[in-house]
Amino acid sequence: MVNIRLSVNKRIISTTVLFWRENQTYIADLCRSFAMGPKRKSEEGNGTPKKAKVCADIPDVTKIDFSCEAKTKDGKKWNMKFSSWNINGIRAWCEKNGHSYITAESPDILCLQETKCEKNKIPRDVEIEGYHRYWLSGDKEGYSGTGLYSKVKPIEVKYGLGIEKHDKEGRVITAEYEKFYMVTAYVPNAGRGLPRLGYRHDEWDPDFTAYLKELDKKKPVIMCGDLNVAHKEIDLANPKSNKKSAGFTPEEREGMTNLLSEGFVDSFRELYPEEKGAYSFWTFMGNARAKNVGWRLDYFIISERLKPNLCDNVIRKDVFGSDHCPITLFMNL
Amino acid sequence: MVNIRLSVNKRIISTTVLFWRENQTYIADLCRSFAMGPKRKSEEGNGTPKKAKVCADIPDVTKIDFSCEAKTKDGKKWNMKFSSWNINGIRAWCEKNGHSYITAESPDILCLQETKCEKNKIPRDVEIEGYHRYWLSGDKEGYSGTGLYSKVKPIEVKYGLGIEKHDKEGRVITAEYEKFYMVTAYVPNAGRGLPRLGYRHDEWDPDFTAYLKELDKKKPVIMCGDLNVAHKEIDLANPKSNKKSAGFTPEEREGMTNLLSEGFVDSFRELYPEEKGAYSFWTFMGNARAKNVGWRLDYFIISERLKPNLCDNVIRKDVFGSDHCPITLFMNL
DNA sequence: CGTGCGAAG
DNA sequence: CTTCACACG
């Protein structure tokens, strides 16, 4: 059995599971439909090379079981679902049908990082019915950028930290709800050769932590996103060889420890303190994802006083479309 | 019937013609072979998305009839075959198996333009047995560049015009043979908004023409390449709307007229003075090639005294792999 | 529309 | 290895 996604001239025309032997006719149809071009007659143009992309072994997101029976420690069932995903370019993600995940998972709030796209260039296909959408991009074209989908309209949405030096890269969106603040962040990567480690450790980390502390004074905080750090050795496949790599330097790990010491909880590690091999990012290089040579860089960080409301935190490692996979938090609020 | 070329992870695994109905089993095999990944076990990595590119409606170059019975005016059969092709990036061209054209056509000399590649980055796959290869690239990475394949080793190969201001972009290769000079050129494009029209008309065109005249004093010249001009209205699909477009300005057309007035012949137009719709370039935009909305930008220009040796000049419009197609000249020499 | 590049991850 | 931007065509 193998999964195939077929797109012609960048338009996905089929996603399906093929069982060999039984499906030769089906495969022929699939190929014919692609070879003849997209359905719209106007686009035909006989004789032109039509380029199709086929991806094999991509699980169909609509067939994944996203149900969850998790409860709080005192037995209350979850009533709010949050998801977070670094999508590595919303335009590429959209072409790969990444947004079909939204309907399949159907979270109350979905946070996206690395949209790499200005608001007015965001493809229309990502407008999913039933969600309000909020987008933030920075000064640099095609770099960074975050987004937030919400079933319920937030009381207020704020962009950035309110600190100029941090707010040029479209990294933080804060949405205020009745009972909590939702914050999504795409934390600055220290970079190859660690050129931005100083900025990250000395400027960003303290200011971002202070920002969350400030919010936490008013309402409990649910913060999520790509924090660009694997906190402990258990959070990446190769801790030994990565002590000087962006995402696992002592400085970055310390920043995360500091954050947690200020009254916040890493919800995944809280629930699964011993779980190994739980990663949310795999480099595209060297087939890392297939070998699960990954990093846990994506988190739901919650205010300590939300611990009694915590039901579950799941890593959706079977969802493709980016070098990160989505993560989902279940809460009773 | 449809032509399919299938490559997995950038490695072409199959090029074939599919006849619907008869070939369902074959298609199934094709898909299985791709879905299971390339043959080499070491590359496998189960569970990873494998990306395949499929191109439909690409004629198989090995099935094209390149034979030619043409003779000179006084009835002598051709004994030398020359081809020229602007390949729009030798690396992309190679991935598309563009070089299979060389074996299929088997010209004595093949000239390439727009290789867009430094000598040491040229893929090994283009090393075709039986040919000497000569490469020229300019200062700017991934820009311009020319190449020459020759079955017979030339007496001498020279690069550029010997004029510094013209020789930084890898545009001209001259190969001296016993009976003639072979010159291939990628003439500077005037550019969108015609920023380089002045350079092209006032500097390049006169110097290049003078260069050819100089060679012509010693031996007859066969010059070919992308001259980046459609000479007359008959040489492009939309002359009316392109009078101010690069490639059809009065200045560029005049440059070509000047060249021909200095004792050179446009071999194609010499043979087919009335033939319309004979183009060698089609923009990728708007399905231009399928509609034959093209330009004749590629030429074999020969010394007037070679006219008695001219057998034929054919435009290989069924050969894909670039936004230009190859052209082939048959001579009795 | 498609090439190659370079920055970034 | 993949994204996007940009230059160039």
> How many Å apart are CA A154 and CA A111, to the nearest integer?
13
A320 contacts in chain B (CB < 8 Å) = 49
Chains A, B: CB contacts within 8 A come to 102
Least CB–CB distance from B2: residue in A20, A35, A58 = A35
**3-state secondary structure string, A44-60?**
CCCCCCEEEEEEECCCC
Report which of A84, A220, A221 is spatially closest to residue A148, judged by C-alpha positions: A84
Residue A72 CA to residue A312 CA, distance in Å, equals 8
Q: Is the pLDDT of residue B43 over 60?
A: no
pLDDT at B55: 58
Whats the size of chain A, residue-wise?
333
Residue pointed to by tokens 């000079």: B181
Nearest to A91 by CA among A63, A68, A119, A61: A119
| Separation CA A13–CA A5 (nearest Å) | 8
Q: Give the span between the Cα atoms of A173 and A135, in whole angstroms.
A: 8
What is the rounded CA–CA span in Å between residue A48 and residue B218? 45
Largest separation between any pair of C-alpha atoms in chain B: 66
pLDDT at residue A196 above 70? yes
For the cut 90, the answer to whether the pLDDT of residue B15 exceeds it is no
Residue in A122, A323, A329, A332 with CA at minimum distance from that of residue A223: A329
Q: Is the Cβ–Cβ distance between B87 and B93 less than 8 Å?
A: yes
pLDDT at A311: 98
CA distances from A83 to A149, A161, A324, B201 (A): 10, 21, 13, 61
Q: Which pLDDT score, from 0 to 100, does residue B27 have?
A: 43
How many other CB atoms sit within 10 Å of the CB of residue A310?
22
Mutate to test the interface with A, among B1, B14, B57 (most CBs of A within 10 A): B57
φ/ψ (deg, to 5) at B65: -85, 105
CA A51 from chain center: how many Å? 29
Pairwise CA distance, residues A326 & B219, whole Å: 69
| pLDDT for res A26 | 44
Judged by C1' against the alpha carbon of B144, the nearest nucleotide is: D8
Our CA-based measurement puts residue A132 at a distance from the nearest CA of chain B, in whole angstroms, of 32
Q: State the number of CA atoms in the 13 A half-sphere of A295 facing the CB.
A: 24
Q: What is the pLDDT of residues B194-219, one digit of tens each?
A: 999 999 999 999 999 999 999 999 99
Alpha helices in chain B (DSSP H): 24-35, 90-95, 100-105, 197-198, 205-218, 250-261, 267-271
Residues of B within 8 A of A35 (CB-CB) are 2, 4, 18, 56-57
User: Per-residue pLDDT for B45 more than 50?
Assistant: no
**A274 pLDDT exceeds 60?**
yes
The set of residues, in sequence order, having a beta carbon less than 8 Å from that of B153 and lying 6+ positions away, is B132
Known binding residues of B: 86, 114, 226, 228, 323-324
- Answer yes or no: is B284 CB < 7 A from strand D: yes
- What number is the average pLDDT over the span A47-65? 64
Per-residue pLDDT at A23 = 35
Q: Which residues of A lie inside 8 Å of B (Cβ-Cβ)?
A: 2, 4, 18, 20, 23-25, 27-28, 30-32, 34-37, 45-58, 287, 289-291, 320
Residue A164 CA to residue A150 CA, distance in Å, equals 26
- Asked whether the beta carbons of residue A20 and residue B32 sit closer than 8 angstroms, the reply is yes
Query: Averaged over A48-61, what is the pLDDT?
Result: 59
Residues 6+ away with beta carbon under 8 Å from A120: none
B223 forms beta bridges with B183, B301
pLDDT category of residue B6 using cuts at 50, 70 and 90: low
SS3 state of residue A325: coil
How long is the CA B191 to C1' D6 vector, in angstroms? 16
Which residue, B107, B64, B177, is CA-closest to B327? B107
Rounded CA gap, B304 and B264, in Å?
A: 5
CA-based nearest residue to A112, from A144, A142, A84: A84
Q: Name residue B329's beta-bridge partners.
A: B82, B313
Helix (H, G, I), strand (E, B) or coil at A96: coil
Residue A40 confidence (pLDDT) above 50: no
Over chain B, what is the mean pLDDT? Answer: 86
Q: Give B-chain residues touching A54 at CB under 8 angstroms.
A: 34, 51-54
Rounded to whole angstroms, the Cα distance separating B278 from B276 reads: 5
- What is the token pair recorded at B105? 């056509």
> What's the rounded Cα separation, in Å, for the pair A265 and A268?
9
Rounded percentage of chain A residues whose pLDDT exceeds 70: 82
Q: Which nucleotides of D are covered by protein (CB under 7 A)?
A: 1-6, 8-9
Taking CB atoms and an 8 Å limit, are A290 and B46 in contact across chains? yes
- The gap between B116 CA and C1 C1' (Å) is 18
Q: How far apart are CA B231 and CA B268, in angstroms?
A: 12
Q: Is A97 helix (H, G, I), strand (E, B) or coil?
A: coil
- Give the pLDDT score at A247: 97
- Rg of chain A (C-alpha set): 21
Has residue A241 got a pLDDT over 60?
yes
Q: Mean pLDDT, to the nearest integer, of A269-277?
A: 97
Flag whether the pTM goes above 0.95.
Answer: no
Q: How many CB atoms lie within 10 A of CB A257?
A: 13
Q: Which residues contact A175 (CB under 8 A, 6 or more apart)?
A: A109, A134, A148, A150, A154, A156, A157, A158, A181, A182, A183
Angle at B82 between CA B60 and CA B292, to 5 degrees: 50
How high is the pLDDT of residue A320?
87
Alpha-carbon gap, residue B279 to B297, rounded angstroms: 7
- Residue B166 CA, distance from chain mean position: 21
3-state secondary structure A286-302: HHCCCCCCCECCEEEEE
In this structure, which amino acid lies at residue B75? G
Virtual torsion, Cα B59, B61, B64, B69, nearest 10 deg:
150
Which residues fall within 8 angstroms of residue B181, CB to CB, at 6 or more apart? B174, B175, B215, B216, B218, B219, B220, B221, B222
Residue nearest to nucleotide D4 (CA to C1'): A142
Q: Which nucleotides of C are covered by protein (CB under 7 A)?
A: 1-6, 8-9
Q: Reply yes or no on whether the pLDDT at A18 is more than 50.
A: no
Separation between Cα atoms, residue A177 and residue A108, nearest integer Å:
12
User: What are the tens digits of pLDDT across the range B293-333?
Assistant: 999 999 999 999 999 999 999 999 999 889 999 999 999 99
Q: Are A33 and A14 in contact (CB under 8 A)?
A: yes
Across B229-239, average pLDDT: 96
Q: Which residue in chain B has the smallest CA separation from A30?
A: B27
Q: How confident is the model at residue A53 (pLDDT cuts 50, 70, 90)?
A: low
Contacts (Cβ under 8 Å, ≥6 apart) of A78: A68, A70, A71, A72, A311, A312, A330, A331, A332
Contact B323, B282 (CB under 8 A): yes
* pLDDT single digits (tens) A304-322: 999 999 999 999 999 988 9
Mode of pairing for the β-strands spanning B327-331 and A146-150:
unpaired
Q: Find out whether B205 and B216 touch, Cβ atoms under 8 Å.
A: no
User: Which of these ranges, A22-36, A53-67, A122-136, B58-72, has the smallest mean pLDDT?
Assistant: A22-36
Q: What is the pLDDT of residue A51?
A: 56
Among residues A139, A138, A131, the alpha carbon closest in space to that of A113 is found at: A138
Q: Is the Cα dihedral B112, B114, B118, B120 positive or negative?
A: negative
Subset of residues 66-95 in chain A with CB less than 7 angstroms from any atom in strand D: 88-93
Interfacial residues of B (vs A; Cβ cutoff 8 Å): 2, 4, 18, 20, 23-25, 27-28, 30-32, 34-37, 45-58, 287, 289-291, 320
What are the DSSP E strand ranges found in chain B?
Answer: 2-8, 11-18, 50-56, 80-86, 109-113, 132-136, 146-150, 156-159, 172-176, 181-186, 221-226, 264-266, 298-303, 310-315, 327-331
How far apart CA A158 and CA A172 sit, in angstroms, is 8
Q: Are strands B181-186 and B221-226 parallel, antiparallel or unpaired?
A: parallel
